[in-house]
Amino acid sequence: MAGVQLQVDLKDNEISLAVLGELIARLDDPTAVYESIGLALAKSTHHRWDQGITPSGSPWPKSLRVIKHGGKTLMLSARLYRSIATNASRTGVEIGTNVVYAAIHQFGGVVNKDARDAVLHFKVNKRTGTWRFAKANKRATLAQKRRIGAHSVRIPARPFLGLDQDDPRTIRTIFENYLSIGGKLQ
């Protein structure tokens, strides 16, 4: 059972009542402690992200882009990484993102793409004479309108939100510091 134990030393009533009053004032609005916890959890999330691991410590499956070209998985634009935010209140803290595609990366799944017409841009490799896809810019030497058939893409789960093995200890330390007399938040 969770709870708080408070032991009052009756030998020095004035000090004990002052301490009790300070604790009651802190507990009346614990938003500050939840803000500190949120910042610690965001930092922990970014640390795991930099390592490419899940909250349980397992490595993320590498993306095809990383396998072919190098770099880090889920870091091409870093939009999702930068979107991690916290929301603290008197009753708790939330950590998450408002990026729509976050769920497919957190949980994995299948994305079904409908057939569509598209303009594809190509450039020629002068050494080999082969064509490859290019962005629609000055480097593209050819553009063709093509029909892209319906297809599905499987995205493996790469969980980034959640508590790792160290997070509960960090949360406890933050709460203990908050509730200690003269304690400061980290």
For residue 34, being part of any structural domain is answered with yes
How many other C-beta atoms lie within 10 A of the C-beta of residue 116? 10
Residue 14 has a pLDDT of 62
* Domain residue limits at 133: 115-149
10-35 pLDDT, tens digit each: 565 666 677 777 777 777 888 999 99
123-164 pLDDT, tens digit each: 888 888 888 778 787 677 788 898 999 999 999 999 999 999
The total of structural domains in the chain comes to: 2
Same domain, 71 and 132: no
For residue 5, being part of any structural domain is answered with no
Instruction: Say how far apart CA 81 and CA 50 lie, in whole Å.
Output: 9
Instruction: Say how far apart CA 55 and CA 183 lie, in whole Å.
Output: 29
Residue 1 has a pLDDT of 46
For residue 77, being part of any structural domain is answered with yes
Q: Is 105 exposed, middle or buried (0-12, 13-18, 19+ CB in 10 A)?
A: buried
Same domain, 29 and 99: yes
What is the pTM for the complete model shown?
0.74
Same domain, 28 and 88: yes
For residue 14, being part of any structural domain is answered with yes
Structural contact between residues 89 and 143, judged by C-beta atoms closer than 8 angstroms: no
Same domain, 127 and 169: no
Q: Kindly state the tokens that stand for 123.
A: 């450039």
pLDDT grade, residue 9 (50/70/90)? low
For residue 184, being part of any structural domain is answered with no
